[in-house]
Amino acid sequence: MSADASPRPGCLTEEEIASLQAAVPGRAPLALARHLASCERCQARVLFGSERRPGRRRPLREPPTLGRALLYAALVLAAVGAFLWTLRMLFGPAD
């Protein structure tokens, strides 16, 4: 077992994790189940075999330029205007 996978004080041991995994659903020892429900580190050890290392973060995409944002806004307004004009043509003016 590697040093980073060894349990910290208060965390479940490998034997306790094995007893949880071998238990029938709903019949796990209550103290172990409570600890597992509240300990993120032990949950990762049960699910993945060891702690998950954080993945690489992608750089954030740059927001659109002001000109492009205004173009999008104008296109949306034109689409809404065309929709309302179509409704008026279909149903006639409201008298």
- pLDDT tens, 13-67? 888 888 888 888 888 888 888 988 898 888 888 888 765 566 778 888 898 899 9
Residue 55 lies in a domain: no
Return d(Cα 20, Cα 24) in angstroms, integer: 8
Average pLDDT over residues 70-94: 93
Is the pLDDT at 5 greater than 60? The verdict is no
Q: Which domain holds residue 73?
A: 65-95
Return d(Cα 6, Cα 39) in angstroms, integer: 15
User: What's the token pair of residue 36?
Assistant: 């597992």
- The pTM score is 0.44
Residue 57 lies in a domain: no
Ramachandran category for residue 10: left, alpha or beta (phi over 0 → left; psi -120 to 50 → alpha): left
Judgement on whether residues 40 and 69 belong to the same structural domain of the protein: no
Give the model's pLDDT for residue 1.
Answer: 42
Give the model's pLDDT for residue 56.
Answer: 78
How many domains does one find in the chain?
2
